[in-house]
């Protein structure tokens, strides 16, 4: 019998990878959540605490055992821009094919702040009560949890993806949209952010700034190509066309299956 693999969790250097992992987990029954941020130098310690308390690095077999016992399973999604792992953590964590299209999630488009969510009890112990300097990079994380009981449901104030308050993370909101007679989960921009894009394009078109419109549409097309985002991007392109934009329009990429991140070993 081969030795068991050490506990681990993926760390996603790109926004597209983090959002893809979260979406994949939700479709597999991880329907409760809590989100937050922490300084990058404390992120590994926080991930370890989440594993020690909630088992975020458990293997598939361990998760099946926990489910049979009526315990909730927890998974951690971390967006750590620029994370490259270490010599001891070189493996890509997937469950999907390698990325087949460019990662277009690195643009720094303006987005509005997302609604505040309850603070994790473990994250409080890892974060300082002092304001984090702007020069210190932060890691955004989302803890996703299945149905069941146990420490994570007792110690964390979890929201539900089926609840009135949508899961908003990394500037996007999780929604279910109609598809082929059914529904599917996807990410899309918030209504407030869409209003900002319409206002920006409207002003540029009113002043006949064709080159500025082209640049704005390019930025819009570079946002992660989830179905909900692509649909909104097409609406914005059509808006520009209807208001007199005559230049080329950017190609809207479909987001292919991508690696979820770089393995961070726990324990």
Q: In the chain, where do the E strands start and end?
A: 8-12, 32-39, 74-79, 92-93, 138-145, 159-160, 168-169, 172-179, 182-188, 261-265
**What pLDDT does residue 117 have?**
52
Buried b (16+ CB within 10 A) or exposed e, 50-61: bbebbbbbbeee
Question: Is pTM beyond 0.75 here?
Answer: yes
**What pLDDT does residue 164 have?**
85
**What pLDDT does residue 163 have?**
87
Is residue 139 helix, strand or coil? strand
pLDDT (tens digit per residue) in 247-258:
999 999 888 777
pLDDT (tens digit per residue) in 21-68:
999 999 999 999 999 999 999 999 999 999 999 999 999 999 999 999
According to DSSP, the β-strands at 138-145 and 92-93 are unpaired
pLDDT tens digits for the chain (267 residues)?
456 678 999 999 999 999 999 999 999 999 999 999 999 999 999 999 999 999 999 999 999 999 999 999 999 999 999 888 753 444 444 333 323 233 333 333 333 333 445 567 666 655 544 444 455 589 999 999 999 999 999 999 999 999 888 899 999 999 998 888 888 999 999 999 999 999 999 999 999 999 999 999 999 999 999 999 999 999 999 999 999 999 999 999 888 777 888 999 997
Which of 151, 125, 144, 176 minimizes the C-alpha distance to 69? 151
CA separation for the pair 237, 9 (Å, rounded):
38
Residue 257, number of CB atoms within 10 A of its CB: 14
187 phi, psi to nearest 5 deg: -105, 150
Residue 39, number of CB atoms within 10 A of its CB: 16
**What pLDDT does residue 259 have?**
80
Which of 187, 156, 164 minimizes the C-alpha distance to 26? 187
Task: Find out whether 19 and 185 touch, Cβ atoms under 8 Å.
Answer: no
Which of 161, 175, 168, 192 minimizes the C-alpha distance to 228? 175
**What pLDDT does residue 132 have?**
44
- What lies within 8 Å, CB to CB, of 198 at 6+ separation is 236, 239
Q: Rounded to 10 degrees, what is the CA torsion of 230, 239, 205, 247?
A: 70
Q: Give domain limits for the chain.
A: 8-174+257-265
Counting residues of the chain whose pLDDT is more than 90, the rounded percentage is 69
- Sheet holding 172-179: strands in order across? 168-169, 172-179, 182-188
């Amino acid at each position: 019998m081969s030795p068991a693999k050490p506990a681990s969790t993926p760390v996603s250097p790109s926004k597209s990878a983090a959002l893809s992992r979260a979406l994949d987990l939700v479709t597999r029954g991880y329907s409760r959540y809590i989100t937050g941020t922490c300084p990058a130098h404390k992120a590994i310690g926080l991930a370890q605490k989440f594993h020690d308390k909630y088992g975020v690095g458990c293997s598939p077999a361990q998760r099946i055992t926990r489910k049979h016992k009526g315990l909730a399973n927890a998974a951690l999604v971390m967006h750590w821009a620029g994370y490259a792992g270490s010599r001891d953590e070189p493996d890509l964590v997937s469950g999907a094919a390698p990325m087949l299209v460019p990662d277009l999630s690195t643009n720094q488009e303006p987005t509005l702040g997302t609604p505040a969510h309850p603070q994790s009890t473990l994250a409080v112990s890892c974060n300082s009560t002092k304001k984090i300097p702007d020069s210190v990079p932060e890691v955004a994380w989302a803890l996703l949890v299945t149905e069941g009981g146990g420490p994570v449901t007792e110690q964390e104030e979890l929201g539900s993806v089926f609840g009135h308050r949508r899961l908003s993370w990394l500037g996007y909101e999780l929604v279910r949209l109609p598809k082929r007679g059914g529904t599917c989960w996807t990410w899309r921009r918030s209504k407030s952010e869409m209003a900002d894009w319409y206002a920006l394009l409207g002003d540029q078109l009113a002043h006949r700034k064709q080159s500025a419109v082209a640049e704005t549409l390019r930025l819009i097309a570079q946002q992660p190509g989830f179905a909900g985002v692509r649909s909104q991007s097409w609406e914005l392109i059509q808006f520009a066309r209807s208001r007199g934009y005559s230049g080329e329009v950017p190609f809207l990429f479909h987001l292919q299956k991508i690696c979820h991140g770089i393995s961070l070993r726990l324990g």
